[in-house]
Structure 1
Amino acid sequence: METSTGLTTAEARQRLARFGPNAVVEKKPRTWLLFLHKFWAPVPWMLELTLILEGILGKWPEATIIALLLIFNAVLGFSQERKAQGALELLKQRLRITARVCRDGEWQSIPAAELVPGDLVHVRVGDIVPADLAISEGDVLVDQSALTGESMPVERSAGADLYSASMVRRGEASAMVKATGAQSYFGKTAELVRGAGAKSHLETLVLAIVRYLVLMDGLLVAAILVYATLTGMPLAEILPFALILLVASVPVALPATFTLATAMASLNLARRGVLVTRLAAIEEAAAMTDLCSDKTGTLTQNCLSLLDLKVWADSSAAELLAMAALASDAATQDPIDLAILQAARDKGVSSPGRGDFVPFDPSTKRSEGTFQKDGSTWRAMKGAPQIIAPLAQVQDWEGPTETLANQGARVLAVAAGPEGAPRFLGLLALADPIRPDAVQVLQNLHQLGVMVRMVTGDSTATAKTVAGELGLKGQVCNRADIGEDCAVYAGVFPEDKFHLVQGLQKQGKIVGMTGDGVNDAPALKQAEVGVAVESATDVAKAAASLVLTTPGLGGVADAVETGRRVYQRMLTYTLNKIVKTFQVALFLSLGLLIFRDFVVTPLLVLLLLFANDFVTMSLAGDRVRPSPKPDRWQVRTLVFSSLVVAIAWLIYIFAIYVAGKALYLPLAGIQTLDFLGLVFSGLANVFLVRERGHLWASRPGQFLLWASLADVAAVSILATQSWLMAPLPLLFVLGLLLATLLYTLLLDQIKVPLLRHLTSA
């Protein structure tokens, strides 16, 4: 077989069986499995165990309520968090193009998925490269910015490689297929996306909280069982009580409240141009310490423009631009030509009528255009300075060229004159300008305590120039120093970005990554906060957890501030839940051990879950202030602080029990009084801990206020009307409300120094 004739159909069929199709295969998770996964977590485990035990004991009302709680949590979490995992599917779609291939000695068009290594293909202007190729003949200008991060198209000729998914901007070439599918450069990026993904810190948080609560609950249940054995209490009475104690200790609504809070925040962000595809990213954004930002198309505009020019001798800037424009043509769609023509239009420069035009030729490194002047044919040319300068017989061009190149620019020389006697007119510097809002956004992120690190595939010189314009301070490194603590990383590849994110995560940092290209997809998925900018490819958007729908990076700062508001709301909810769990569990168990009474009935404990837990879900929309620096959950400190507050409330609820005894209420009446005390103190505790300062420092959200008032009214009616519990006089209920208010104001004086260190606000 000769290269010029390509493969035979039989050879292609054999290689297709050997190497597989030119596509990336991904197994999609089934929807019903995703839903069932919501029942596989620490909180559902505890509820499921309780549900089974309640069923064995025949406690069907309690079992039904617990089952409903399980289903509520699962449905809410599934409906809010479900999103299409389309990153790899989009990668495959990018490969669903046709290719010109030589088979059996004849050129034909076939689906790119049928290409195999060894195929002879032909690409030309406008084509997406269908596989990794080695050019055998021809010259092309290739845009690889979506794949390698290079901001400028690159020349490729015989002997050079072309990467799949890059775009041919000029020229045409014949090439041999080197790699297809998952083995191509593009496919390896897909494999990185498949393996990427950071563990949710929210899951770790919930697990840590549940661990503390289970430990406490286990000790209390053990103490009760020992007590029952020593005193001869019937097991049939103690076991249901132990189960209800377990339910009281489970943070039932904790996952649902986190989901609700982040879902509400995602709707708010959507109105501000930020789409959230993974709800946990909002929580992660609050803790984000480092943002690795892609340069091309993210911090810069990903289009060439005139950066500077150097006029030579007796020429002028207008003449320099006019001749450069005459040697350019919009029909070529060459980014350099388009940038020069746009600069000429912006400055009001017009060129004389053009005759012949010779597009850029990689062999001559210049383009030319002819025009008539003084009755003779003149020629304007632009190209590499080392080519144009000798033609114009000019010296001392190296210094100015190097000065412009050190600014990270691509430098072109321009000359014009009669045939055989061109005059050197000067130098043009073209560069990718930064986005207008980039500097301000980076300053905002810095003020929020987020360190921004620029990541680019461009040279160190270009990266250093752009970093200076952006105000990024710190060391500028290349890909060999990817493990160093740098402000800028230059010359990096997709694997470098991916491993950079992993390396920062291993140092305990919460990492964000912004990007727009296919090359960014693995790092976007690996980062806790992957941000696809407005100009991003579909692959990058599918891999990211946040997608910006408006130009610029302003949405990143919005996401950070929103995430920190969610953190403050969830800190309040978690504090409240742990406090109430300690209070209720200790009250139930110690009440039995000390007074030998069931201080609250099992039915009232389940009712308490609805009266407190699901009402306090209204905290998901509470009015809060964001922290000025990254928030991190400190579970040990959180649990210790909660225990201190819980002991204060435990004293309060025991005082209510003793007061009920002193008023000679029957046991059922005392249980109702205790139930109301737990509900009122639970609501009061929400307002107590929602402010790290004094509780009157900020106004609560309207939904929280109305939900609390409705809760007080509902349980008061139940108690006074003898529904589901023994009756109590209205005077007792009002007196208990007043006592709760006074006690809350007293606790507020103790709480301020205790909780202030839990937040940076």
Structure 2
Amino acid sequence: MSQGRHSSARISPLANLFVIGDFILQDPEATPENKGTDATENNGRQPEDLQTAELDSIYSELNTTPEGLTKAEADSRLQKYGANSIQEKEQSALARFFRFFWGPIPWMIEAAALLSALIGHWPDFAIIMALLLYNAIAGFWQEHKAANALAALKASMAPRANILRDGDYQSIDAAQVVPGDIVRIKLGQVVPADVRFIEGKSISIDQAALTGESLPVSKKIGDIGYSSSIAKRGEMTAVVIGTGHNTFFGRTATLVAGAGQSASHSQKAVTHIGDFLIVLCLVLAVILVGTELYRDIVVADKWHWSDIINILRTVLVLLIASIPVAMPSVITVTNALGALALSRKKAIVSRLEAIEELAGVDILCSDKTGTLTKNQLCLEEPTVFSAEDKNQLILAAAIASEQGSTDPIDQAIFAELSSPIKVTDFHLKEFTPFDPVSKRTEAKVMDNKGKTLFFSKGAPQAIADLCQLSGDAADNARSCVQQQASRGLRSLGVARKESNQQWLFLGILSLEDPPRDDSKDTIRRAREHGLQVKMITGDDVAIGKEIATQVGIGTNIYAAANVFEKSQDMDHLPSATIDCVERADGFGRVFPEHKYAIVKALQGRGHQVAMTGDGVNDAPALKQADCGIAVSGATDAARAAAAIILTSPGLSTIVDAIDEARKIFERIINYVLFRVSMTLDIMVVVVAATIIFGFSPLTPVMIVLVALLDDIPIMTIAYDNTLLPKQPVHWQMRDLLLGSSIIGLFSIAQTMGILFLGMAWLDNTSWQSWIALNKEQIQTIVFLQIVAGGHLLLFVVRSRTAFFSKPLPAQPLFVAIVGTQAFTVLMCGLGWLVPAIPWSIIGLVWLYMIIWMFFLDLIKRLLYRRLSDI
């Protein structure tokens, strides 16, 4: 949970004790406080032993005493156990940079660069190398930014600690703390390591960012304190039992370091497309080289080394044509503009690939406090026993509270007072803060008549024992607490007495962190979007079940400890456990490894998972999730591990972000469909024309111009209008490659058709003899058809229905394409960079493409109809 959020709006430590004792509904040994994780191993003992062993045994195992260590002993242990900090192995920046020159698309670009150098096409070489460096630098920078998750975790470690060394307390760097050290912890300080408390009255620890509990936990002698938790009240002395990676915090950091998928779905998709084009390119290259060698050696019976240069030049054209040069850039720009749109919806994207991941999310794992709930306690209808009415009961609870307290329970009580002025009628003489042993507070006051009164509030069982309840009164109190606990409410007993008289049990207050006003509607909207919502909380199951019922998630809420066995490998869960995770509506009393395991289990079943969180304890799951979402007020570690950061509370922002993400994903799919189809068109036409007509229909310069004229304006597809998919959208590679191949096949037919017409125009004796063209002009015709026809094809594939139906192209896309086409027509008509062709031929080519546009649109609609039936 958010450290900052809970420091000012925290539920009192009383609350986690209200259902303890005879009225308990759960085993206190099963609460997160008593389920420690790693500690330092000593003399072969298991890590858990130091968290449960008697204090005398701990001194023996750690070879220490309540008087602490000497400096020499501490230095020796520092060498043995290492610094009390998170250390991770990092690959050098140079090695990480060179990794971006390895992979399908980099291989294609590098091969094209090498081939252009071999045959002396240095302008092509320069352009290709600039592209390669750009992709590597952009990728390296994105990865470098992602490395801040562990840095944020380290930043939250306590910088200083008060340690007993050589008989005196001294402030040292927390990184120098070692197992066996005696440390003093007081209000506002960060616990520097995992400790066991050995001396002092009591201390209240805010460990929500580690364990997910929504309440500070009151500690007493013998209890454990977790590294990086914060002291909220009191002061105690403790012995250090674990440092660095051997702490609850350290294990969480280790999970973050190991969490995360090897590659995003977007990266896998681009790699898949690259593999497909590489294979096709190699097949076509073999056919082309084989045919040319057969002609030169077998048919013509002549051979010259210059023929190799000609063949390599043709292969270079094929290779350049096969590279989806701008695909990574177009996807990045589209995502970046989408991220800007999401920022206006209060969602900040820290990893661009997360937009596509969010579009495919079908399960949303949400935390409870502050996301589904308001994170502020309020009083429900109280149960009156000896009080005259509920106002007297609330007044008594207010008197037993600390004036000016920021404790949410105290604030909730003061907020419900019918007349706050009445509290000032009682003059405070003595106030005893909450004591985890007695489990109550107590105030000694004098009323305006001079009478001395005592008021107390605390755990219902503690107040019942104080009042010596018995018989029906005790049964009624027990029944009331059980009923409220079953509804997820926290109970608070209130009592009063006059001097030397018996305590009176005034009644029981009920407190609840109510759902946000928009939570129920948001859950409904999420389900309409094809999302299943699971609630993940560190609170008790009863509390989680009540909130889940109120917001419409469901009642199938499990205690995480009952689903995941302690010894289980969270990366390899049994099938029965994964089945339970899929069926569940949520989990209560979760730990970081549970959240991580839930995400891994769902991903293993093919789900795309979004995980919300705000604390250090959420960081491993946030990083592992397909789309980790840090909610409003999250800790630095959670924000660093997350891919999307919300700046406004609640889940409604997430549903809005999913809408935007699905639109962005549709735009990218439309572009990929267009780009792969056009790449197939160019590659096959180059090979087919070379084999059939003996010359390449496009020069290397024309290929580069096609890339520029096609892809630069296509970046405006990020602004395009698109229909909002009602269900999660994914990279369906089989359908995508099949669809693009079929459309590409008809595009090939379109280009080959214009090429056959052009070759007929070369024959001055035919019926087209009124048109006199040469081969260079034929290349210009093919160039015009591929550039203009490609943009017309984009108009076709951007819509699932007829290309002229709504939603129509957005103005930026339409203007960019029209402007590009006008420039292309001028290039071909005036001979800029390409041989000029007659204006009449340009008009005929455009008429030809418009006819084909309607035909391709019909093919597309039949294709989508067929794919939807599969």
Q: Which band: TM-score by shorter chain?
A: over 0.9
Q: Which residue of 1 aligns with 2:176?
A: 114
Q: Which residue of 2 aligns with 1:228?
A: 292
**Deviates further, 214-223 or 531-540:** 214-223
Q: Which residue of 2 aligns with 1:282?
A: 355
Tell me how far apart the structure 1 counterparts of residues 422 and 837 of structure 2 sit (CA, whole Å).
91
* 2:745 equivalent to 1:647: yes
1:8 Cα deviation from its structure 2 partner: 1.0
**Deviation per residue, 1:51-93 (Å, 9 max, x gap):** 0111012121222222233234345555667525222222222
* 2:510 equivalent to 1:429: yes
**Deviation per residue, 1:535-590 (Å, 9 max, x gap):** 11111111111111122223211221122111111111111111111111111111
Q: Which of residues 240, 243, 258 is equivalent to 1:177?
A: 240
Spell out the pairing of 1:422-571 with structure 2 (5 A cutoff).
Answer: 422-473=503-554, 475-479=556-560, 480-482=562-564, 483=577, 484=580, 485=582, 486-571=584-669
**Deviates further, 228-237 or 686-695:** 228-237
Tell me how far apart the structure 2 counterparts of residues 346 and 670 of structure 1 sit (CA, whole Å).
92
Instruction: Flag the 1:2–1:596 CA change in 2: closer, same or farther, 3 A.
Output: closer
**Structure 1 runs not aligned, ≥5 long:** none
The amino acid across from 1:534 in the alignment is S
The amino acid across from 1:462 in the alignment is I
The amino acid across from 1:392 in the alignment is C
Tell me how far apart the structure 1 counterparts of residues 193 and 335 of structure 2 sit (CA, whole Å).
41
Q: Which residue of 1 aligns with 2:480?
A: 400
* 1:170–1:333 CA contact under 8 A, matched in 2: no
The amino acid across from 1:320 in the alignment is L
* 1:23–1:180 CA contact under 8 A, matched in 2: yes
Spell out the pairing of 1:245-264 with structure 2 (5 A cutoff).
Answer: 245-264=318-337
* 1:293–1:515 CA contact under 8 A, matched in 2: yes
Instruction: Flag the 1:347–1:500 CA change in 2: closer, same or farther, 3 A.
Output: farther
Instruction: Flag the 1:307–1:228 CA change in 2: closer, same or farther, 3 A.
Output: same
- SS in structure 1 opposite 2:507? strand
* 2:400 equivalent to 1:327: yes
**Deviation per residue, 1:718-756 (Å, 9 max, x gap):** 211223222111121122122212220232122113135
TM-score w.r.t. the length of structure 1 is: 0.95
The amino acid across from 1:684 in the alignment is L
**Deviates further, 114-123 or 552-561:** 552-561
- SS in structure 1 opposite 2:417? helix
- SS in structure 2 opposite 1:4? coil
Tell me how far apart the structure 2 counterparts of residues 567 and 519 of structure 1 sit (CA, whole Å).
31
**Deviation per residue, 1:669-714 (Å, 9 max, x gap):** 1111111111111111000100011111222122211221122122
1:468 Cα deviation from its structure 2 partner: 0.9
1:258 Cα deviation from its structure 2 partner: 0.9
- SS in structure 2 opposite 1:615? helix
Tell me how far apart the structure 2 counterparts of residues 79 and 101 of structure 1 sit (CA, whole Å).
41
- SS in structure 2 opposite 1:659? helix
**Deviation per residue, 1:171-224 (Å, 9 max, x gap):** 221110011111111111111111111131111101111222222222211111
* 2:281–2:318 CA contact under 8 A, matched in 1: yes
Tell me how far apart the structure 2 counterparts of residues 449 and 568 of structure 1 sit (CA, whole Å).
16
Q: Which residue of 2 aligns with 1:703?
A: 812
Q: Which of residues 223, 240, 249 is equivalent to 1:186?
A: 249
- SS in structure 2 opposite 1:663? helix
Superposition RMSD on alpha carbons, in Å?
A: 2.2
Instruction: Flag the 1:624–1:81 CA change in 2: closer, same or farther, 3 A.
Output: farther
* 2:469 equivalent to 1:389: no
1:625 Cα deviation from its structure 2 partner: 2.1
- SS in structure 2 opposite 1:44? helix
Q: Which residue of 2 aligns with 1:614?
A: 712
1:274 Cα deviation from its structure 2 partner: 1.3
1:162 Cα deviation from its structure 2 partner: 0.7
Instruction: Flag the 1:129–1:342 CA change in 2: closer, same or farther, 3 A.
Output: farther
Q: Which residue of 2 aligns with 1:215?
A: 279
Q: Which of residues 377, 380, 383 is equivalent to 1:310?
A: 383
Q: Which of residues 446, 452, 468 is equivalent to 1:377?
A: 452
Tell me how far apart the structure 2 counterparts of residues 227 and 296 of structure 1 sit (CA, whole Å).
69
**Deviates further, 184-193 or 31-40:** 31-40
**Deviation per residue, 1:583-629 (Å, 9 max, x gap):** 11111111122233322233322322222233322222222122111
Instruction: Flag the 1:390–1:226 CA change in 2: closer, same or farther, 3 A.
Output: closer
The amino acid across from 2:803 in the alignment is L
1:284 Cα deviation from its structure 2 partner: 0.4
* 2:386–2:504 CA contact under 8 A, matched in 1: no
The amino acid across from 1:695 in the alignment is F
Tell me how far apart the structure 2 counterparts of residues 13 and 338 of structure 1 sit (CA, whole Å).
47
Instruction: Flag the 1:133–1:267 CA change in 2: closer, same or farther, 3 A.
Output: same
- SS in structure 2 opposite 1:6? coil
* 2:245 equivalent to 1:137: no
* 2:837 equivalent to 1:728: yes
1:100 Cα deviation from its structure 2 partner: 1.8
**Deviation per residue, 1:424-474 (Å, 9 max, x gap):** 221012233333332222222221111111111222211111111221125
* 2:490 equivalent to 1:410: yes
Instruction: Flag the 1:346–1:507 CA change in 2: closer, same or farther, 3 A.
Output: farther
Q: Which of residues 714, 722, 732 is equivalent to 1:624?
A: 722
The amino acid across from 1:71 in the alignment is L
Tell me how far apart the structure 2 counterparts of residues 348 and 221 of structure 1 sit (CA, whole Å).
90
Instruction: Flag the 1:304–1:10 CA change in 2: closer, same or farther, 3 A.
Output: farther
* 2:194–2:227 CA contact under 8 A, matched in 1: yes
Q: Which residue of 1 aligns with 2:340?
A: 267
**Deviation per residue, 1:388-408 (Å, 9 max, x gap):** 224334423111111112222
The amino acid across from 1:119 in the alignment is D
* 1:140–1:157 CA contact under 8 A, matched in 2: yes
1:667 Cα deviation from its structure 2 partner: 1.2
Structure 1 vs Structure 2: percent identity of aligned residues? 37
* 1:325–1:351 CA contact under 8 A, matched in 2: no
The amino acid across from 1:404 in the alignment is Q
**Deviation per residue, 1:147-183 (Å, 9 max, x gap):** 1011122221111111111122222211100111111
Tell me how far apart the structure 2 counterparts of residues 319 and 307 of structure 1 sit (CA, whole Å).
15
Instruction: Flag the 1:556–1:608 CA change in 2: closer, same or farther, 3 A.
Output: same
Q: Which residue of 1 aligns with 2:113?
A: 51
Spell out the pairing of 1:571-720 with structure 2 (5 A cutoff).
Answer: 571-664=669-762, 665-697=773-805, 698-720=807-829
The amino acid across from 1:63 in the alignment is F
* 2:391–2:418 CA contact under 8 A, matched in 1: no
Tell me how far apart the structure 1 counterparts of residues 775 and 70 of structure 2 sit (CA, whole Å).
93
- SS in structure 2 opposite 1:63? helix
The amino acid across from 2:823 in the alignment is A
Tell me how far apart the structure 2 counterparts of residues 520 and 94 of structure 1 sit (CA, whole Å).
14
1:5 Cα deviation from its structure 2 partner: 1.4
